[in-house]
Structure 1
Amino acid sequence: MPPRALRVDSFICRSCLSSLRKRTPTAQWVLRHSSQAAQPVASEASSHRSREQEIERQKTLETLGLLKGSKDVGVSVNYFEQGKGGKLRRLRDEDEFGQSLNDPGGEAESRMKELEQELEQATQFTKIVEKIWGKQGAEKLRKRVESQEEALPKPSLLLPEEDWTAQDRTRIVQLNNMIRTIGRKAHSGVLLPKRINSLWKYYYAARIALSKKWESVHADIWDLLWQILAADHPNNPNRMSHTHVLAKDMQNAGVALRDDQQLLAIEATFISGLQEDAITAHKKLVTTIGARPDTFVEFWQLGLRMYCLTGDIARAERVANTLLESPYEKDPRFLLPFIRMCAEKPATVEKGFELYQRLRSVLGDAITIEDYDQVISYFLASNETEYAFYVFVEMMTSNTVDLRGTHRVPPSVASPFFYGKWLKRLIGAGDLQGAHNVLLHMKSRGVMPQAIVVNGLIGAWLRSGTADNIKNAEDVAWAMINARMQFLNIRKDMKNLATYVRLRQYGEGWPRANLETFSLLAENYKDRGIHPKMEELWRAFRDAEIAPNSFMLNQLLFSYLQDGQGKHVAALTRDLTNQYQVEPDSWTFMVLWQALAVNRLIQIPSGQTGKEISRTRSLFAEMIRSAHILATSSIDVQLARFVLHSFRKLDDKFGLLLAYRALRQIFKFEPPDSVVFELHVGSMDLERTAKGKGGLRLMHAGKQIEDYLKRRHEELIATGQLSAGDDLPDDIKREELGNFVEFFLQNQVELLGDENMEQTLEQAATEMGLDGEVPSFDDV
């Protein structure tokens, strides 16, 4: 015990100090709560000992005068707080000590002050936004910020970037950055192929690193990768290959795949070429996914498709029966792959047709034209045209006519018109091989196809451009030409025979070629530049005694021009038009203008310019005589270009001016901007001109045209034809451009300084078929 004369605020014995510490209210509260959390409730014996100890301690404190009721002795307790650096800080009182226990370091208070400042700043910003854009604008901004925050990936969607090698960490960081980008883009809609491919690229690059720490890949990351890479969307063409790899990685990482994920993984494995693995995996799930009502149909339909693709008809049939006998709701069209497999082999084609009838029976009125077309295409692809014909007849007759087992086909069905419908449908669908099979089937049944339908197939073959189709087109077309020749020969022989004698045509039973047949071949030979075949075709055409039209004539003329025989085009045109009385059209004149020496040759021979000018003017006169044909609508721009540039190349300024005026007045020609520049610069190739020194001429021409249009715009406003501030209308602009070209050409004529300009113009007009009258405009 301490001396009595000494105050107790400086010294306390150890036993009393121990008791005093037990009496501290705050420490007692902490011990009470910690003991409640960490220890079980004490037994009765322990409680009794505690009460005895408490009584003894109270007596000791009373003796020392340390109880609250004691007025003789005062007790003061100092509280301290230890900071992070180990430094002690004295606390003011018991309240600050309690606050220190609840909030060490005073972080809550400082954080509260920061939040108050942020709230005040947000309130001020909201007031500014409402002042500028109103409350609706502020609400839109708030929603936009919320949507952007929602688009940000969750922390679980990012891979940890620590504890990797330098190379692996780079790949992980790249994948995380891509995940962030995908998170923002995916929130706004469907991802573009570029984003999906980038995600796959960075994931594939990080696979080796991730395989060392599969546990670091959170489940949310797998869900995101599956959602993007396995999405069934046109923007994800590599879906199956991605799914195959991703599913393997998830299984290696110990991730349990959902039922739908397992089915898609099996399908992806099968499509990736591992067919046996996929079928094995499918068999293992028969008692699980294959037995659940919600996955039964999808599971067995997947198995049916795989067995059909591998050609396992026995297992496919068992699976099909399992599906058909199941009580679950399903689309009977799951039989289509099975029908296709059976139709591919002659041994099982009958079974395929029976399956089709079963499908048709189950669907009933729900069967569609597309269903019929699908089944028909299966039988046609395997050259089982007879069964395809049965299906087509049932489709067209609403299942009222059944041809199976019949020896005689009804006339309403065995007719060119009925077959023609089928051929047109197949050609329109692009099934050219199927249409060919139908043609052969018609001929085998003795039904002569219509020439117009066969010509449609020939045209489709030629347009496809493939070697096999072009060969088929030529074979069939020449077979039709031969049928035409046989018919003509029989008709000639019949004139020398008795009336009761009849000759019949022999051969393969193709229809006779007509003008369309020859035109199709002629256009193809011309486009392919096969002039020898064109000449052979033309000889056959003349022997076929068919009057040509301008189209057939033009193909022949263009073929001669492409073959380098342009000098014969003009004479050939005169002979053919006189012999067959064919009126030339714009394409005929196109080839005639291109066949002129000035357009065929790089340079006109010396001394031939005058002769070529005379030919050019004569050809223009031919156009004037055919104006009733060409002037039915505005003349073709390309034809007008060749006309004008032919005169320009010959430097026939008088002929060029007259030709331009005649084109505008008689043929309603309105020169486009390109032709205006070409005539002003003097070139048909503006791009080539712009690369050289002609670029300055183009700039000069553009400046002149712009100044002219600006001046005319001001004049029209001054005369009241346009209101001030109005732009130049398109129709007026086209007319003014035409006037500009005429002023330009007329100015070039005047620069020649010809004293007999009027007489020269009249003579040129006479040579050009303008009856000696020089066409002009009132404003010129």
Structure 2
Amino acid sequence: MPPRTLRVDNFICRSCLASLRKRPSTAQWAFRHSSQAAQPLASEASSRRTREQENERQKTLETLGLVKGSRDARVSVNYFEQGEGGKLRRLRDENEFGRSLSDPDGQAEIRMKELEQELEEATQFTKIVEELWGKQGAEKLRKRVTSQDEALPKPSLLLLEEDWTGQDRTRIAQLNNMVRTIGRKARGGVLPLKRINSLWKYYYAARVALSKKWESVHGDIWDLLWQILAADHPNNPNRMSHTHVLAKDMQSAGVTLRDDQQLLAIEATFVNGLQEDAITAHKKLVTTLGARPDTFVEFWQLGLRMYCLMGDIARAERVANTLLESPYEKDPRFLLPFIRMCAEKPATVEKGFELYQRLRSALGDEITIEDYDQVISYFLTSNETEYAFYIFVEMMTSNTVDLHGTHRVPPSVASPFFYGKWLKRLIGAGDLQGAYNVLLHMKSRGVMPQAIVVNGLIGAWLRSGTADNIKNAEDVAWAMINARMQFLSVRKDMKNLATYVRLRQYGEGWPRANLETFSLLAENYKERGIHPKMEELWRTFRDAEIVPNSFILNQLLFSYLQSGQGKHVAALTHDLTNQYQVEPDSWTFMALWQALAINRLIQIPPGQLLMEVSRTRSLFAETVRSAHLLAPNGIDVQLARFILHSFRKLDDKFGLLLAYRALRQIFKFEPPDAVVFELRVGSVDLERTAKGKGGLRLMHAGKQIEDYLKRRHDELIAAGQLNAGDDLPEDIRQEELGNFVEIFLQNQVELPGDKNMEQALEQAATEMGLNDEVTNREMPKHSTAI
């Protein structure tokens, strides 16, 4: 009611203002449908209104002329809306004013549709789960989802963005968004690397803003950051640097770190290079974490690792004794860092071996092969091969043979076979330097290693590709070659001496090189393109009186090709195969076909063209004579490709047709799609052809092949060999593609009015070593045209 001292027409009471702001029907509809919880509140508020207040309100409205039916209703009201930046916008009418109150951002209808869609999807999902798992299974799933949702960061625990302004507020908002995303994506599992890095990026960007108001960061936010950024997982490679910064910020914010967090923070400080700070922090916790039963072992093991990395043997030994004398349960493998530190220095290597013996005794039957390998690697890395040998013998003999302190090694142990097991194990594990140290140790004890084992190390060195390993491989391989040459020299000299005279080989005790040794060097020199060394190796190989095989022959041939001396390949191949009776293989013929002038030179002088045609046909005849070496497993596709393109480049149409027929009949060759296109288009590089004007040729060739296959498909269906609707089987398709190429090549030969065609074919067949069956082959009648 208005005060009595004022006139009614100059004052509007609060109830009247409330009626002016009353929502129209559209706003009421939005509120009714947006939340059912609003209905009991509205009914409760209206029930509290007394009849007297309602009557008083009606009188006031009648006085103001705001009641429907009142004759003097002449009051006009203007409505405004304040947007961002304080700017006012006038609204059109009362309906727009109601919508502005009920839906300020204009997204209510969109949100309602999204909620209705989510509700419908949830209902359908629940029905499906109940059908599959029953009501009990659906209830278990609901509880699990509920527990996961409870683990998400609650909106009330996020950073209040209103506490910051400007750029700081933007960074806090970005961090909040990332925390929400992390909460949704984590679901109790491990986050991917990209997500962890994003969280760190936004947190690091907001650190300056957060440092101004550390008290605004809720404890749950710190827990979430620690859980993600300090997780020990391969997806978190920067774990220690993240932990170091995060722990400092938490301490600055006054957050009390848990015991496990304090230990990890000390380790992170040490790893990040602040070793003295980490040691100081560790010492401060001696009376707390270092005395509690639940943290005693972990605390002192951390100290032992730090002292070992710093090389402080005295303190490390005191900590190790503290752990060994403690009554708490622990894994004796905590001594491994101490053993490694002692094995690195000659002055303490004996102490390291004693610690190994204590570790072996403490583990007993629980010691594993991996434990032995780990300790052995410590001594091998520091070049203390003698102690490593002691441990390896104990591992292989189940501690029944103890060589420590003895001067004589049993023959069963001091044998190439026993050492060979060790070398194979080290080479397989990738410890090449350790294997080399074992070789030197064998030679120092007068035990000559087996050539097969040393070749294995040479091959591993060469495969690694590093300069030091390649140098070691060459040095050892040539030492073995020298041993071979000395052996031959001694054997030659002994022929001229009396039978009772014996000569001994001198040198460094390396085994004699064999064919595998030369093959390893030859392959490496070929791959590296070092032709002078290859020639030196080949000269030595001939003097070494070792019968070559096709592998080392092929390395030599390809080395000549790479060095631009392909013209010598054919003569060299014939000499070596005749001298050593080496049977060529696919790689040998690959080198021979690549060595042809048509494949080596950019252009052949016109006067030499006929001679090159004759050479190419002669090489094909030689290839046919070696069909028993190539055909059993089918000819190599690349070799067949080189053969066909060699004839095509020479424009020897008769030779190309006969070569293709022979490859199909004798070598069981079926051209793949790429070779079919190359022969149809007349190019060895389809990608390059497609970029130029040849693209039209490719399109035309593709259409021609497709039409041919379609026609053959229809003919097979009409003949009853295929059912209607079935695709062309792959084997039939491959055969038809081969027929297509042969028809195409045959059409290139069969020129109208050419009476000398049969004579030219017979001459070409004779030069190419082919019989009449290949020459007079007839295509099926259904495949005589394309």
Question: How high is the TM-score relative to the length of structure 2?
Answer: 0.83
Matches within 5 A, 1:272-421: 272-421=272-421
* 1:561 counterpart residue number: 561
**CA displacement 1:652-697 (0-9 Å, x = unmatched):** 1111111111111111112111111111121221221121112222
Q: Deviations over 1:2-22 (max 9, x none)?
A: xxxxxxxxxxxxxxxxxxxxx
Determine if contact 1:762/1:774 at 8 Å carries over to the other structure. no
Shift in alpha-carbon separation, 1:158–1:700, aligned structure 2, 3 A: farther
User: How far apart in 1 are the matches of 2:354 and 2:125?
Assistant: 74
Shift in Å at residue 755 of structure 1? Answer: 2.2
Q: 1:698 to 1:753 in 2, by over 3 A?
A: farther
C-alpha distance in 2 between matches for 1:300 and 1:649: 78
- The Cα shift of 1:582 comes to 0.7
Matches within 5 A, 1:97-496: 99=48, 125=120, 129=124, 136=131, 153-187=153-187, 189-496=189-496
1:15-41 Cα distance to aligned partner (Å, 9 max, x none): xxxxxxxxxxxxxxxxxxxxxxxxxxx
| 1:442 shift after superposition | 0.2
Query: What amino acid does structure 2 have at the position aligned with 1:653?
Result: K
Q: 1:153: Cα distance to partner?
A: 3.1
Q: Report the Cα distance in structure 2 between the residues aligned to 1:213 and 1:645, rounded to whole angstroms.
A: 77
- CA shift, 1:512, in A, is 0.4
Where does 1:484-633 land on structure 2 (aligned, <5 Å)?
A: 484-633=484-633
Alpha-carbon contact 1:678-1:684 (below 8 Å) kept: yes
CA distance in 1, matches of 2:241, 2:264: 11
Q: Shift of residue 717 of structure 1?
A: 2.1
Alpha-carbon separation, structure 1, partners of 2:509 and 2:45: 113
After superposition, the Cα gap between the structure-2 partners of 1:360 and 1:768, relative to the gap in structure 1 and judged at 3 Å, is same
Instruction: Give the superposed CA RMSD.
Output: 3.0
CA change 1:752–1:461 in 2 (3 A) is farther
Match of 2:87 in 1: none
Residue 655 of structure 1 aligns with which residue? 655
Change (3 A) 1:160 1:670: same
Q: Give the distance between the partners of 1:674 and 1:389, measured in 2 at CA.
A: 58
Shift of 1:217: 1.1
CA deviation vs aligned residue, 1:360-390 (integer Å, no higher than 9, x gap): 1111111111111001100000000000000
Other-structure match for 1:636: 636
Paired AA for residue 470 in structure 1:
I
**Matched residue SS, 2:339:** helix
Q: CA deviation at 1:774?
A: 2.6
Q: CA deviation at 1:587?
A: 0.2
Q: Distance in 1 between matches of 2:743 and 2:354?
A: 81
Q: Say which SS state the counterpart of residue 607 (structure 1) adopts.
A: helix
The answer on 1:671 being equivalent to 2:671 is yes
Q: Tell me, yes or no, if structure 1 residue 732 matches structure 2 residue 681.
A: no
SS at match of 2:294: coil
Code of the aligned partner of 1:266: I
Change (3 A) 1:661 1:394: same
Q: How big is each residue's C-alpha offset from its partner over 1:707-735, in whole Å with a ceiling of 9 and x where there is no partner?
A: 22222222222222222222222222222
Structure 2: state its 5+ residue gaps. Answer: 1-12, 22-43, 55-101, 103-107
Cα pair 2:442 2:448 within 8 Å, conserved: yes
Amino acid corresponding to residue 265 of structure 1 in structure 2: A
* Equivalent residue, structure 2, for 1:39: none
Moved more, 489-498 or 439-448: 489-498
Aligned in 2, Cα 1:728/1:188: closer, same or farther, shift over 3 Å?
farther
Note if contact 2:383-2:437 (Cα within 8 Å) is conserved in structure 1: yes
The structure-2 alpha-carbon separation of the partners of 1:366 and 1:133, relative to structure 1 and needing over 3 Å to count, comes to: closer
Determine the C-alpha separation between the residues in 2 that align with 1:752 and 1:240: 83
Q: What CA deviation, in whole Å up to 9, does each residue of 1:267-305 have, x standing for no partner?
A: 111111111111111111111111111111111111111
What is the TM-score of this pair, normalised by structure 1? 0.83
**SS class of match (1:395):** helix
Aligned 8 A contact 2:681 2:697 in 1: yes
Displacement of 1:187: 1.8
**Corresponding residue of 2:59:** none
Q: Distance in 2 between matches of 1:486 and 1:122?
A: 89
> Aligned partner of 1:327: which letter?
P
Deviation, 1:351, is 0.5
For the Cα contact (< 8 Å) 1:156–1:221, is it kept in 2?
no
Moved more, 364-373 or 136-145: 136-145
Q: Secondary structure at the match of 2:607?
A: coil
Matched-pair identity in %: 84
Letter in 1 for 2:159: L
Distance 2:308 2:402 in 1: 28
Q: Give the Å deviation of 1:747.
A: 1.8
Say how many residue pairs are matched. Answer: 685
Q: Deviations over 1:615-649 (max 9, x none)?
A: 11111111001011011201111111111111111
What does 1:683-698 correspond to in 2, within 5 Å? 683-698=683-698
Amino acid at match of 2:453: V
Change (3 A) 1:709 1:204: same
1:148–1:184 contact (8 Å) kept in structure 2: no
Is the partner of 2:632 in helix, strand or coil?
coil
Shift of 1:86: 8.8
Q: CA offset at residue 771 of structure 1?
A: 3.4
Q: Is the 8 A contact 1:762 1:773 kept in 2?
A: no
SS of aligned partner of 1:414: coil
Distance 1:337 1:370 in 2: 15
Residues 130, 652 of structure 1: CA spacing in aligned structure 2 closer, same or farther, 3 A cutoff? closer
Taking structure 1 as reference, are residues 777 and 403 closer, same or farther at Cα in structure 2, changes over 3 Å only?
farther
Pair 148,648 (structure 1): closer, same or farther in 2 beyond 3 Å = farther
Contact 1:390 1:403 in 2 (8 A): yes
Would the aligned equivalents of 1:594 and 1:600 in 2 still touch at CA under 8 Å?
A: yes
Amino acid at match of 1:308: C
CA contact (8 A) 2:148 2:188 kept: no
Aligned residue number for residue 24 of structure 1: none
Structure 1: gaps (5+ residues): 1-80, 90-94, 106-110
Cα distance in 2 for residues equivalent to 1:510 and 1:777: 64
Larger radius of gyration: 1
CA shift for structure 1 position 330: 1.1
How far residue 149 of structure 1 moved from its aligned partner, in angstroms, is: 5.6
- Distance change >3 Å, CA 695–CA 85, structure 1 → 2: same
Q: CA deviation at 1:487?
A: 0.4
Greater displacement, 149-158 / 767-776 = 149-158
Q: Find the aligned partners of 1:731 and 1:228 in 2 and give their Cα distance.
A: 56
What residue identity is the alignment partner of 2:548? P
1:133, distance to aligned residue in structure 2 (A): 6.5
Partner of 1:398, secondary structure, is: coil
Equivalents in 2 of 1:544, 1:135: separation in Å? 81
- Aligned-partner Cα distance in 2 for 1:544–1:209: 78
Residue 635 of structure 1 aligns to a residue whose secondary structure is coil
Say which is worse superposed, 519-528 or 608-617, in terms of deviation: 608-617
For 2:430 and 2:752, how far apart are their aligned partners in 1? 62
Change in CA separation of 1:521 and 1:157 when aligned onto 2, cut-off 3 Å: farther
8 Å contact 1:766–1:772 — kept in the other structure?
no
Give the 3 Å change call, closer, same or farther, for CA 87–616 of structure 1 in structure 2.
closer
Residues 1:718 and 2:667 aligned together: no
1:133-179 CA distance string (max 9 Å, x none):
69649998995996896575311442111142321112111111211
Q: Which amino acid aligns with 1:527?
A: E
Distance 1:466 1:165, change over 3 A: same
